[in-house]
Amino acid sequence: MVRPAFRIDQARLRAVREEQGLSQATVARKVASLMGRPVTDSLTRHYQRIEDTGQTSSGYAKALAEVLGTSVPLLQGHENPEPYHYLQYVRRLLEERLAAGGSDALQALLARQGAGDREEALSYLTEVIAERIEQVLLVRSPAMVADLVSLTGLSENELLVPANVQGFWFLSVRSALFSYSEVINGVASLNFRAGEIIREYLGDRGDDSTVRMWHDGSWTRLEIGLARGRDTMHVDFTRCLPDAAGLRWAMASWRDRFFLEPALTAAAYASADIVTGFDGTTAPADPRRLRFVIGEYAGTYEKVIGKTTVDGDVVAMPESLRESAAKDGFTRRLFMNWLTEGLRATLMPRLGTRPPSAWLLRVNGAGVEISLRDSRGRDGIFAELQYQIVLTEETGAGEFDPVPVREKDLEGLRQQIANWLAEPDVAGRAEETGGFENV
């Protein structure tokens, strides 16, 4: 019986080897040593056949990955090469090209990166050239290829091996009203675009809206729903590698997910009322456990005086009222209104001790900040933080987790506090409702 061949991406294998400055003979000897095989004259020829055909055994592929400090899936083309390794490869290439005289265009491009520190200029030049190579893989422009051949001295085939600097992402968006797809360059741009899509879709229609996020193989999926209406938007994206045949899906690296997941979660938390994160946890799990946590400070976040919570007496809310709000898609608005009324009784005795003009109110991140304006009338950046109000879910005795809260709801809360301060004789009634109870 003929043993089936194990296939790897020969272009990827060659690129990973060259990125590390290793010869074919060196790799062949290291693999043989790792596998306990004798060193013979045929080792290099055997390795060359693998780079030419992409066919080998799974055991040899595993040893190759270990020698090259990478993974078998990457050698098969299912993962992206590390940007650091690829940039090091391009830098070595440019250093050799410049040491040999290089082209006039390459010398001029290096000079434009800065005449002071040559090492720093070479680092900038490396990124410029590497990003151009990456773009060529996608657009396949003959003029761009010819320009890079002249600059780098590489052949066209050598230029078109897999590269990874910013990386490419294929994005698909579907809803009842429209669907479209696009290719995005770089995880930072993807984060911005995905956040923009969430904000635009929910907009003013976001009452009791939901965002669910999860990974599905190489794909990351977002499901955005509205409490009122049947429409649901699906946003799906995956890393991709362009080649002559088109786009191939690829697994996101741990670094991709490190930058993606917090940014996507923050965008969902600022636009929706209920979010199910990548770990499968839904926040808030129960709206009846929503609380305002008020932090009291002496000028900065580093100087914490105390904290207190506001529950708005939501436990006394009639179940029929909550059911009616849920049916109409206004659950979050109902609980925010109850909590806000409770907030007034806790907060205003403190704010009323000073004239309204002394306070600066602003939305900052996931909360509302209340600061004392600078007595010299300077800009708000000199204001001294006194209180921060954050919407949370009480998960245990004295334990609170942040929950999604829409930017427009925070702005509404800020405006409500401003309205309280604008009421007549607010300072004279400062002690009517009791004091601030620290915990």
Query: Is pLDDT of 333 > 50?
Result: yes
Claim to verify: residue 151 and residue 201 sit in the same structural domain: no
Same domain, 417 and 325: yes
On whether residue 17 sits in a domain, the answer given is yes
Write down which residue in 221, 250, 283 finishes a domain: 283
Task: Give 261 or 255, the one with higher predicted confidence.
Answer: 261
Q: Tens of pLDDT along 77-112? A: 776 667 888 888 888 889 888 888 878 888 888 888
Residue 430 domain-assigned? no
Q: How many domains does the chain have?
A: 4
Which CATH number does the domain housing residue 11 bear?
Answer: 1.10.260
Instruction: Give me the count of residues in the chain.
Output: 439
Out of 283, 314, 340, pick the residue that ends a domain: 283
Q: Which two tokens stand for residue 263?
A: 């940014």
Asked whether residue 436 is domain-assigned, the answer is no
128 and 106, same structural domain?
yes
Does some domain include residue 191? Answer: yes
Contact, 44 vs 112, CB < 8 A?
no
Instruction: Note the pLDDT of residue 214.
Output: 97
Q: In 3D, which of 364, 356, 350 has the Cα closest to residue 413?
A: 364
User: Do residues 172 and 274 share a domain?
Assistant: yes
Please check whether residue 351 lies inside any domain of the structure.
yes
Question: What is the per-residue pLDDT across 2-26, written as a single tens digit (0 to 9) for each?
Answer: 455 688 888 778 878 887 788 999 9
pLDDT tens-digit series, residues 13-69: 887 888 778 899 999 999 999 988 888 878 888 999 998 888 988 899 999 989 988
Cα–Cα distance measured from residue 136 to residue 85, given in angstroms and rounded to the nearest whole number: 19
How many angstroms from the chain centroid is the CA of residue 252?
12
Q: Domain range for residue 58? A: 6-75
pLDDT score of 367: 93
Same domain assignment for residues 148 and 251: no
193 and 113 co-located in one domain = no
Q: Are residues 87 and 206 in the same domain?
A: no
Judge whether 433 lies within some domain: no
Are both 248 and 335 inside the same structural domain? no
Residues 389, 368, single domain; the answer is: yes
Q: Is residue 431 one of the residues assigned to a domain?
A: no
Residues 91 and 124 both lie in one domain: yes
Same-domain pairing of 58 and 94: no
Domain end residue (candidates: 104, 124, 159) = 159
3-state secondary structure of 160: coil
What pLDDT is attached to residue 344?
Answer: 92
State the pTM of this model.
0.78
- pLDDT at position 268: 96
- Residue 382: pLDDT band (50, 70, 90) is confident
Residue 435 is assigned to a structural domain of this protein: no
Cα–Cα distance, 253 to 218 (Å, whole number)? 10
Same domain for 130 and 190, yes or no, is no
